Amino acid sequence: MNTKPPAVEQRDESFIKFARMGDAIASSDRNEAETLEAIRRATEDFVMSWRMPDPRFLACQPDAPYASYLLFVNESSTFSIVLDVFMPGQAAVIHNHRCWCSFTCLEGVERERLYAVDPNLSAPPQQIEERICRVGSVRVLGSDRHLFHQVECASDEATVSLHIYGADIGRLKRDMWDADAGAGGEYVNFKSHYSNTAAGVPAYFTD
């Protein structure tokens, strides 16, 4: 039996167009700075009117740090779109991406903390900036391994944010700061995975 992707069932032409546009941008010969600028502009236009219409992709996961749903990944695993849902009190670990990325708050208010790290990842991360991300604000980050940040819910209600990556982020080996590891904390490798399996939903769109 052929099952249509949820985006097709929802007739979400806006998202389908955005996913294909983002894939084309990521697959072009632009350098990273040009790619990020193109993604930023496309995302700003997209989020002016788009919100997830399928409630299955908005479900919270109280037994996890937060919910993270894969919406789209291209065949070459060089571009993915993810929807994150944070309940009040939930936060991501302090982490890097090892690929370029952007994220946009769609509902609620999120707090982003930026960190400076030792070039050899041999000392604890030091917070250097804190930003409040409100609905519609688009943030971009490069692929430098030393770019660490943390995102958390800063609302009394769940927040929803759209994340775009230059890789299949749920399967990419990355770095996080584990304050409980070793004698006084250390950086460890991790993969973030997706919440789709636990929620029983497929990727929102497959092309």
How many Å apart are CA 106 and CA 103, to the nearest integer?
10
Q: Please, which pLDDT band fits residue 2 given cuts at 50, 70 and 90?
A: low
Tokens representing residue 120 in the block: 């050899």
3-class SS of residue 141: strand
Domain presence at residue 101: yes
| Nearest alpha-carbon partner for 113 in 133, 83, 99, 97 | 133
Is 206 domain-assigned?
Answer: no
Q: What is the DSSP letter of 63?
A: T
Question: pTM for this structure?
Answer: 0.96
Tokens found for residue 43: 């995302």
- Segment 38-49 shows an average pLDDT of 96
Asked if residues 98 and 143 have their Cβ atoms less than 8 Å apart, the reply is yes
The C-alpha atoms of residue 58 and residue 10 are separated, in whole angstroms, by: 15
Q: Which domain holds residue 11?
A: 6-196
Residue 171 inside a domain? The answer is: yes
Secondary structure E strands in 4-125: 67-73, 80-86, 101-107, 110-116
pLDDT of 182 reads: 75
Whether 14 maps to a domain, the answer reads yes
Tens digit of pLDDT for each residue in 178-197? 998 877 899 999 999 999 99
Q: How confident is the model at residue 91 (pLDDT cuts 50, 70, 90)?
A: very high
Is residue 42 a part of any domain in this protein? yes
Q: How many domains does the chain have?
A: 1
3-state secondary structure of 115: strand
- pLDDT for residue 52: 98
What the block records as the tokens of 65 is: 């740090």
In a domain, 205, yes or no: no
**Cα-to-chain-centroid distance, residue 101:** 7
CATH number of 125's domain: 2.60.120.10
Task: Report whether pLDDT(1) > 80.
Answer: no
- Could you give the percent of the chain with pLDDT greater than 70? 99
For residues 17-29, give the mean pLDDT. 97
**Rounded mean pLDDT of 145-149?**
96
CB-CB contact of 56 with 6 (8 Å): yes
In degrees and rounded to multiples of 5, residue 196 shows phi and psi of -55, -45
Contact criterion met (CB below 8 Å) for 59 and 199: yes
Output the pLDDT for position 121: 92
Give the contacts of 189 (CB within 8 A, at least 6 positions apart).
173, 174, 175
Question: What tokens were used for 157?
Answer: 């209600």
- Pairwise CA distance, residues 122 & 107, whole Å: 36
Distance between CA 162 and CA 107 in Å, rounded?
A: 10
